[in-house]
Structure 1
Amino acid sequence: MAEQIDDYILCDDESSLADAITTIQGASLLVLDCEGQTLGNEGGALSLICLRALEPEISGTYLIDAISLSKEQLNPIFDRMQSSSVTKIMFDGRKDFSELYHGFGVYLRGVLDLQLADVESRRQRGEDQGKQISRLLALLPPREIFRKRHLYSAVQKLCGLQNCVGEHKIIKVPKTDPVSHSDWLIRPLSEQYLRYSSRDAYFITILYDHFIESGERGPRQRTYFVNMASSPSTSLTIALPL
């Protein structure tokens, strides 16, 4: 796993960005993750755009420096992100979407959010309402849930990325030191921050592969992925993880 996480390229100048653009333009599936300071909030700032092409002949994660590079230089990247012909694989992309849209005028299209796919997979794994309610007990007082059980029957607790990978038993997730989100705008970024970004892109990749392999054993899951990639909305009601 360490080799996969360390397989990244920092793009912080015109030359390295050109290599990333050439690679990304030939990909129809892209893992997309963003890092920054309070993304999606007023005063937030984008630091890195992390892209990983899901093509057999392409390896590695491109960490594109959104501070060192200008918006004009990033436009070819933004064009791919806005293209409906390229599926963007994300995990909890709400804040990323908000930052890209409000900060750069970039409207993401063709997004498949694996956090929602994880919720759908619970039904396919046979998870009953008792388990669904037990997840909520980690967030809310038991009295609140059981008094209004009929209201919470359709509420799903979301997993974070690392917990999701662990729950599906894809790999044994090692403990890592947290990073301070207030330092994402410091340049140069330390190796700890670069590896943190690359790790998230790798986790999204193996989670996607896991769902696809599971989907090959059931047509319903394959259909769900197509619908999620093409539909801008979902009927799921969700509860945010703490």
Structure 2
Amino acid sequence: MQLAFPDAIYLVDAIEGGKTLVKACQPALESSYITKVIHDCKRDSEALYFQFGIKLHNVVDTQIAYSLIKEQEGQKRVPDDYISFVGLLADPRFGGISYAEKEEVRVLLRQDPNFWKYRPLSDLMVRAAADDVRFLLFIYHKMVEKLNQRSLWYLAVRGALYCRCFCTNDNNFADWPPLPPVPDTLIAEENAPEEEILSVLDVPPGKMGCIIGRRGVSILAIKQSCSAEIILGGDKGPPDKVFIIGTVRQVRKAEAMLRGRMLQL
């Protein structure tokens, strides 16, 4: 786990330091008063929750922020249009920096899935780990300057939903902090934003293919019809589950369409 501050970067090694070292960070990671800046927090939150019982909270996800900035600029939201951290860093508005070393690490990781388990950490591993967070605070400040109040609220809500997205449990996330309410100033507007929710659907064995369809045609059609964010389990999360984020209307429509696909032979 990497922690970047204005004057230093710390690498918290769970393999060498063990659970005690990571648990020492729990108060800060769960704090409502300390903002955590992460790019695509879903898998990080999942690991912290299931391995250490930590509920990541008060997160600004730069991937979400980038999408909101595009929406503010009048660009239509496109399903699965996620900016990678390398792409974000290369954007001249948020750094304009090439991160070729990241691809080198990805190649090594594909060749050896245990790449990050080797100790001691090599110079390349230390540099790559540090560079993953080195520029996040700079990017965060640049993004916040561009976001209006409505987008900042969406950023907070979607960040909270992303954090709990893959952290499935039996109590429907009742033990997680409440979602940020809609600010009074936005409620007073004629076009007040709708609250957003997270829904998790269980997919029966052998039915994920029905949902996806040939070459992804079916799931893409559902995403376009519902305007909800739909994340399939498997490589991106727990298998045999579908995660839906959006307004109540969007989520319920997506649920109905997904269940319809699961009923098909």
TM-score, normalised with respect to structure 1: 0.58
Alignment of 1:237 with 2:229, yes or no, is: yes
Identify if the C-alpha distance between structure 1 residues 222 and 110 changes in structure 2 by more than 3 Å, giving closer, same or farther: closer
The offset of 1:195, in angstroms, is 0.9
Percentage identity across aligned positions? 25
Cα separation, partners in 2 of 1:222 and 1:104, compared to 1, 3 Å = closer
Select 2:85's aligned residue among 157, 161, 177: 161
RMSD (CA atoms) = 2.8
Q: Which of 36, 40, 43 matches 1:88?
A: 36
- Give yes or no for the alignment of 1:194 onto 2:119: no
Using the alignment, how far apart are the partners of 1:239 and 1:109 within structure 2?
20
Q: Deviations over 1:9-29 (max 9, x none)?
A: xxxxxxxxxxxxxxxxxxxxx
Q: Which residue of 2 aligns with 1:124?
A: 72
**Using the alignment, how far apart are the partners of 2:134 and 2:154 within structure 1?**
23
Task: Give per-residue Cα distances to partners, 1:201-233, cap 9 Å, x unaligned.
Answer: 023222212112223xx4434444454566385
CA distance in 2, matches of 1:186, 1:108: 26
| Stretch deviating more after TM superposition (67-76 or 185-194) | 67-76
Could you tell me how far apart the structure 1 residues matched to 2:37 and 2:18 are?
25
| Distance across 2 between alignment mates of 1:103 and 1:239 | 22
For these two proteins, the number of residue pairs brought into alignment is 163
The aligned amino acid for 1:212 is V
* Cα offsets for 1:40-83 (capped at 9, x unmatched): xxxxxxxxx10123xxxx41111111111122233221221122
* Offset at residue 163 of structure 1 (A): 0.5
Q: Report the structure number with the largest CA radius of gyration.
A: 2
Q: Which runs of 5+ in 2 are unaligned?
A: 161-178, 181-196, 199-226, 237-265
Residue aligning to 2:184: none
Aligned twin of 2:253 = none
Answer with 230-239 or 85-94: which moved more. 230-239
In the superposition, relative to structure 1, how do residues 170 and 86 fare at CA in structure 2: closer, same or farther (>3 Å)? Answer: closer
Distance 1:214 1:239 in 2: 27
Asked if structure 1 preserves the Cα contact closer than 8 Å seen for 2:64 and 2:155, the reply is no
Q: CA deviation at 1:85?
A: 2.5
Match of 2:135, SS state, is helix
Question: Does the 8 A contact of 2:91 with 2:97 survive in 1?
Answer: no
